[in-house]
Amino acid sequence: MNYKTLGIFAIGTLLAASAIAQTNDSVLASHPNFTASCYSLYPEPANIKYTKAPAGYKAFYLSHYGRHGSRYHHSADEYKYLFETLSKADSLGKLTEAGKQALAYTHVLATEAAPRSGDLTQVGVKQHQGIAKRMAKNFPEIFNDRTVAVKNDKGVKNAKVTPHVKAYASTSGRCIVSMAAFVSEFRAQKPKTEVETFSGKSYMKFICPFDWDKLEYSKAKKYTNESDKLWQKVDPQPFLKKLFNDSAYIAKNIDASTFYNRIFEITSLLPGMDKPLLQSIENEAKVPAETFINLFTTEEKITRWKAQNSWWYSVLGTSPLIGKTDGTDFGKNILQNILDEADTVINADTLNAAFNAGETPVAATLRFGHDTGILPLAGLMQLPLASAKISDLSTLHEQWDDFRVIPMAANMQIVFYKAGKTNAKNASKPILVKLLYNEIEQTLPIECGLPENEKKNCPAAPYYRWDDFRTFYSNLLK
């Protein structure tokens, strides 16, 4: 089996997704890996050409939030559940030949994958290394030496210093390892740049403020009515009959919905697994690992994904059916931290500021968290790919797709620009920002605040005046 192809296929299809204006069944049938939902591989960009900054402007700061990379399934018990369910059926002679192959497949998962539940894979490591490498390449001026005013006992004088980077991670191991992978590659690209790394409970308020107990989406009848329509279309029986040879046994002994959903989710993770696990599956099951992805028909994948997609949208997205903003509110602490940190950096970079001896400017703030952080943030900030307002969930996929918003290693980068050197001439020129989502430039719902007779001085998208950016998003936090 070509394990490299298993991963690259998913990446390639996701790359194609970035150019697709609308997702329909035909698109999903052509790109079945989209149906992996939040388990989709990171859509690594290729040959991206960014819009040039206005004349005289150079990037000087970058604010980032990223989801961890590809990982093992979060629950060891669910790996074991699949194996135990199939093992019991096998002991009673209730498995088909495909079922026996699935038994071998789940045995590998229970013995090799379960002990690593929730851990980052090497695929996930490489995703963050790639993002770090491209960040250093795309915005080298942010991390280069710069001349700043430095004060000591003898007064203030200009000195050339190397700015530093601050990186924060969720207390989750996969986020800490994602940060480590990112930082290791970044240091290889920019060896002079010091990187400070942080992880701890005190940082979780702006890395992962999510709390399941604060969500009440299941009480919203408008949502449950629409959602039920989609889940009712998910029929596990044809799939189960591929594995079990006795319908009566299935009816009496198998929780069809639970088994089907667990094996679907865990199998969707396969493209993000490492070669040794895939090889173990092939060795024990005597078929390539991708065989188990293909056990699900294209129609089954699409039907289940539409229901799952609507769940993510309604729980943490911009769904009008919930009647509350509980989901996107989880992005508020993150957004506030982004604004506050930017203010601190900008204030330190003003004309009259001077650094204490030994201090250096902050070039970037990196945050490594979860889908439950970046999804609410993207919706709260009204990004085009995450701001749809859809009541008919059967058509949701045409405007909102979880595989675009929260693939593994999904990330947001806000790049700050200033007009050349810090001096009196440039002091009055506005700081500009642009936002990248999964490294793609975004158009934001922000209007230029200049008077009508000065609108000609407004920057063109994807660039926005920081004052307008800050005002717009600060108002969302009130």
DSSP annotation string for 423-475: SHHHHTSPPEEEEEETTEE---S----S-GGGGGGSPPTT-EEHHHHHHHHHH
Which pLDDT does position 276 carry in this prediction? Answer: 98
Q: Which residues of 329-346 are buried (b: 16+ CB within 10 A; e: fewer)?
A: bbbbbbbebbbebbeebb
Statement: residue 134 has pLDDT above 60: yes
Q: For 285-314, how does the pLDDT look when each residue is reduced to its tens digit (9 = 90+)?
A: 999 999 999 999 999 999 999 999 999 999
Which pLDDT does position 8 carry in this prediction? Answer: 40
How many Cβ atoms from other residues are within 10 Å of residue 369's Cβ? 27
Alpha carbon separation from 359 to 162, 190, 313 (Å, rounded):
10, 18, 43
Tell me which residue of 412, 398, 427 sits closest to 473, measured CA to CA: 412
Chain centre distance of CA 137 = 21
Statement: residue 7 has pLDDT above 50: no
What does DSSP assign to residue 42?
P
For residues 439 and 387, give the distance between their C-alpha atoms in angstroms, rounded to a whole number. Answer: 18
Q: For 456-474, how does the pLDDT look when each residue is reduced to its tens digit (9 = 90+)?
A: 999 999 999 999 999 999 9
For residues 314 and 309, give the distance between their C-alpha atoms in angstroms, rounded to a whole number. Answer: 9
For residues 340 and 360, give the distance between their C-alpha atoms in angstroms, rounded to a whole number. Answer: 18
Which pLDDT does position 1 carry in this prediction? Answer: 42
Question: Omega before 459 cis (within 30°)?
Answer: no
Which pLDDT does position 11 carry in this prediction? Answer: 44
pLDDT band for 358, please (50, 70, 90 cuts).
Answer: confident
Q: For 24-65, how does the pLDDT look when each residue is reduced to its tens digit (9 = 90+)?
A: 999 999 999 999 999 999 999 988 899 999 999 999 999 999
Which pLDDT does position 144 carry in this prediction? Answer: 94
pTM: 0.94
Rounded to the nearest integer, the mean pLDDT of the chain is: 93
Residue whose token pair is 């690992």: 289
Average pLDDT over residues 133-140: 97
Which pLDDT does position 17 carry in this prediction? Answer: 41
Helix residue ranges per DSSP H, 93-143: 97-108, 122-138, 140-143
Which pLDDT does position 47 carry in this prediction? Answer: 85
Q: For 201-223, how does the pLDDT look when each residue is reduced to its tens digit (9 = 90+)?
A: 999 999 999 998 888 888 899 99
Q: For 174-204, how does the pLDDT look when each residue is reduced to its tens digit (9 = 90+)?
A: 999 999 999 999 999 999 999 999 999 999 9
Residue whose token pair is 């729980």: 315
What percent of the chain has a predicted confidence (pLDDT) above 70?
93
Which pLDDT does position 422 carry in this prediction? Answer: 57
Alpha carbon separation from 214 to 165, 325, 409 (Å, rounded):
33, 11, 25
Which pLDDT does position 156 carry in this prediction? Answer: 87
Residue 469 amino acid letter: F
Alpha carbon separation from 408 to 115, 127, 195, 382 (Å, rounded):
21, 8, 24, 21
What phi and psi, each to the nearest 5 degrees, are found at residue 367?
-130, 130
Which pLDDT does position 428 carry in this prediction? Answer: 77
pLDDT band for 16, please (50, 70, 90 cuts).
Answer: very low
Which pLDDT does position 251 carry in this prediction? Answer: 98
Q: For 386-436, how does the pLDDT look when each residue is reduced to its tens digit (9 = 90+)?
A: 999 999 999 999 999 999 999 999 999 999 999 976 555 666 799 999 999
- Which residues are within 8 A (CB) of 439 and not within 5 positions of it... i.e. 6 or more apart? 45, 48, 131, 134, 138, 411, 413
Statement: residue 12 has pLDDT above 90: no
Q: For 331-343, how does the pLDDT look when each residue is reduced to its tens digit (9 = 90+)?
A: 999 999 999 999 9
379 three-state secondary structure: helix
For residues 288 and 280, give the distance between their C-alpha atoms in angstroms, rounded to a whole number. Answer: 10
For the chain, the straight-line distance linking the first and the last C-alpha, in angstroms and rounded, comes to 54
What does DSSP assign to residue 420?
S
